[in-house]
Amino acid sequence: MKDLSSNNKSIVDGPSRVDGKHKVTGKARYAAEHPIDGMLYGVLVDSTIAKGTIASIDSKAAEWAPGVKAVISHLNSPKIPGYDDKFYGLKVFFNNKVLFYGQPVALVVADSFERALHAATLVKVTYNKDKSETSVDKNLANAKLPGNPRMKDYVRGEADAYKKAEVSLEEEYLMPLEVHNPMELHAIIAHWLADDKVKVYDKTQGIKDTQESISKTFKLPQENVQVIAEYVGGGFGSALRTWPHEIAALLGAKKTGRPVKLVLNRMQMFTMVGYRPYTRMKMGLGATKDGKLTGITHEATAQTSRYEEFTEATVNMSKFMYKCANANTRYRLVQMDVSVPTWMRGPGEATGSFALECAMDELAYKLDLDPLEFRMKNYAEVDPENGKPFSSKHLDEAYKLGAEKIGWYDRNRKPASMKEDGMLVGYGMSSGTFGAFRWEATASARINADGTLVVQSAVSDCGPGTATSMVQIASESFGIDASKTSFILGDSALPPGPTQGGSGTTSALGSAVFDTCLALKKQLHEIAAAEQDSPLYQSKFEDVKFEDGDILLSRSKKVAITDLLKKKNVPSIAVTLESKGNEELQKYSMYSFSVHFAKVHVHPLTGVVRVVQVATVADSGKIISEKTAAGQMIGGVTGGIGMALTEEGVFDDRFGKFINNNLADYHVPVHADVPHIDTIFINKPDPIINPMGAKGMGEIALIGFAAAIANAVYHATGKRIRELPITPDKVMGAEV
Partner 1 sequence: MKPEDTSNEKPHRHIKHTERRDFLKKSSLLTAISLAPGSLIKAAEAELDEKFASALEQLPLSIEVNGKMQQVNVEPRVTLLDFLREQLQLTGTKKGCDHGQCGACTVHVDGKRVNSCLSLAVMHQGKKITTIEGLANGDELHPMQEAFIKHDGFQCGYCTPGQIMSAVACINEGHANSKDEIREFMSGNICRCGAYPNIVDAIADVKNGGQKA
Handedness of CA 394, 400, 401, 403 (dihedral sign): positive
Cβ–Cβ under 8 Å, residues 428 and 709: yes
For residue 233, the minimal CB distance to partner 1 (Å) is 3
- Which residue(s) pair with 115 in the sheet? none
| Minimum CB distance to partner 1, residue 90 (Å) | 24
The alpha carbon of residue 576 and the mean position of all alpha carbons in its chain are separated, in whole angstroms, by 28
Minimum distance from residue 677 beta carbon to partner 1 (Å): 5
**Cβ neighbour number for residue 396 with a 10 Å cutoff:** 15
Q: Is the CB of 60 or the CB of 144 nearer to partner 1?
A: 60
Q: Which is nearer to partner 1, 105 or 269 (CB)?
A: 269
In whole angstroms, the minimum distance from the beta carbon of 724 to partner 1 comes to 18
Buried b (16+ CB within 10 A) or exposed e, 285-316: bbbeeebbbbbbbbbbbbbbbebebbbbbbbb
Q: How far is the CB of 395 from partner 1 (least distance, A)?
A: 23
CB of 124 to partner 1, least distance (A): 14
Secondary structure class of 364 (helix, strand, coil): helix
Residue 340: phi, psi to the nearest 5?
-75, 135
CB of 236 to partner 1, least distance (A): 7
Contact yes or no for 434/696 (Cβ under 8 A): yes
> Residue 273 Cβ, how far from partner 1 at the closest point, in Å?
13
* Sign of the CA dihedral running 403, 406, 409, 414: negative
CB of 674 to partner 1, least distance (A): 4
Q: How far is residue 54's CA from residue 47's CA, in Å, rounded to a whole number?
A: 9
Check: CB of residue 188 under 8 Å from CB of residue 314: no
Q: In what order do the strands lie in the sheet with 609-619?
A: 419-420, 423-435, 591-602, 609-619, 677-681
Question: How far apart are the C-alpha atoms of 51 and 127, rounded to whole Å?
Answer: 9
The DSSP symbol for 122 reads H
In angstroms, the CA 247 to CA 83 distance is 11
Considering the complex, state which of residue 49 and residue 228 has its C-beta at the smaller distance from partner 1.
228
In the bound state with partner 1, the residue whose beta carbon lies nearer, of 311 and 628, is: 628
Tell me how far apart the alpha carbons of residues 294 and 603 are, in angstroms, rounded to a whole number.
38
Query: Whole-angstrom Cα distance, residue 440 to residue 498?
Result: 7
230 vs 383, beta carbon nearer partner 1: 230
Q: Which of 542, 699, 723, 735 is catalytic?
A: 699
Strand partners, 188: 202, 262
493 bridge partner residues: none
Pick the closer one to partner 1 by CB: 664 or 736. 664
- The letter for the amino acid at 209 is D
Q: What pairs with residue 425 in β-bridges?
A: 601
Strand partners of residue 430: 596
Mark whether 699 is an active-site residue.
yes
- 89 sits in the region (left: phi over 0; alpha: psi -120 to 50; else beta) called left
Handedness of CA 56, 62, 64, 68 (dihedral sign): negative
User: What is the C-alpha separation between 120 and 110, in angstroms, rounded?
Assistant: 10
Query: For residues 35 and 422, which CB has a smaller minimum distance to partner 1 in the complex?
Result: 35
> Least distance (Å) from partner 1 to the CB of residue 266?
4
Smallest gap from residue 65 Cβ to partner 1 (A): 9
Q: Which phi and psi angles does 722 have, rounded to 5°?
A: -105, 0
In whole angstroms, give the CA distance from residue 563 to residue 570.
11
Note if the bond before 725 is cis, omega within 30 degrees: yes
CB of 138 to partner 1, least distance (A): 31
Closest distance to partner 1 from the beta carbon of 468 (Å): 10
* Angle between helix 466-478 and 626-645 (nearest 10): 150
Task: Give 3-state DSSP helix, strand, coil % of the chain, rounded to 5.
Answer: 30, 25, 45
How many separate helices (H) and strands (E) can be counted in the chain?
Answer: 17, 29
Query: Residue 317 and residue 333: Cα distance in Å, rounded?
Result: 18
Q: Which one, 6 or 569, has the nearer CB to partner 1?
A: 6
CA distances from 199 to 34, 223, 538 (A): 12, 10, 49
Q: Quick one: which H or E segment has residue 707?
A: helix 705-717
63 or 531, CB closer to partner 1?
63
Q: What is the rounded distance in angstroms from the CA atom of residue 353 to the CA atom of residue 735?
A: 24
Q: Which is nearer to partner 1, 27 or 289 (CB)?
A: 27
DSSP 30: B
Pick 64 or 409: Cβ nearer partner 1: 64
* Phi, psi for residue 84 in degrees, rounded to 5: -105, -170
* Residues designated catalytic: 699
